[in-house]
Amino acid sequence: MIRICRRGSLTVEAALTLPVFMTGLLTLVSSLYMCLLSQKIQASLLLASERMAVAASDGGSADIGDAKAFLAEGLSEADVRFIYNGIDGMDLSGSEICHNEYINLKLFCSLVPFSDAFGIIKIPLERRCLTHIWCGYDRGYFGDGEYVYITEDSKVYHCDRNCRHLMITVRETSPGEIATVRNESGARYRPCEHCHPKLSDEHLYITPQGDRYHNQITCSGLKRSVRRVRKSEAEGRRPCSRCGR
């Protein structure tokens, strides 16, 4: 009889303790997850503001309305489930672009812990992020501080952005002439692979440095994009005969 009584009390004890223990464990895990989620939201907000800062640079336009889409991209479906009202529940209405110089994102939302089975608890979260609109690298940003200019199609680097060799001079020629003209290096001109010029075309365009002839002045083969890079990135190229050192 005594034995039966003891067993019964143990079962009652376990029945009372286990739910308390499980609730405590769930609350702990839930709290840790909420901390992690708030950090993820902050990281996504930073990412959103950086993307807007780049979009707004070089005379581009940044729209605060884009911020929410950028923000959502940084969060998974599972993350959004624990934000009250999901993506719609993220309020960015206090955000602004200040003097066309800074992007100031202000986010308000509420987190819903998964330990709250009744949906009563809402943890308010406020996050801010202030980012300068991207304006290029600072001088000396890379430490070695020395920059040069390169083009994709050349094995030369330039120290002067205004070097004559970086400028492109387009000359017009005629189909009758093209077989006899030579470029700066004395090579013949061949038809461009982009604009497919024919000898029946009325106008042909060439550059003294290039070795292709074109029938469209807007052809991408006639454009030259110049990049500013660290000198160490121009390794394998020789200095320009005019401005290099």
Residues interacting with Zn ion, by CB under 5 A? 158, 163, 165, 192, 194-195, 214, 219, 221, 240, 242-243
Identity of the residue, 42 or 151, whose beta carbon is nearer to Zn ion in the bound complex: 151
- Residue spans of alpha helices (H) in the chain: 2-55, 67-73, 77-81
- Least separation in angstroms between CB 147 and Zn ion: 14
Identity of the residue, 82 or 213, whose beta carbon is nearer to Zn ion in the bound complex: 213
* Cα–Cα dist 92/108, whole Å: 7
Identity of the residue, 238 or 242, whose beta carbon is nearer to Zn ion in the bound complex: 242
- Least separation in angstroms between CB 75 and Zn ion: 45
- Least separation in angstroms between CB 131 and Zn ion: 36
- Amino acid identity at 172: E
Identity of the residue, 139 or 245, whose beta carbon is nearer to Zn ion in the bound complex: 245
- Least separation in angstroms between CB 135 and Zn ion: 26
- Cα dist from 168 to 182, 206, 207, 223, 227, whole Å: 16, 10, 7, 8, 15
Which strands sit side by side in the sheet containing 96-98, from one edge to the other?
96-98, 102-111, 123-132
SS3 category, 132: strand
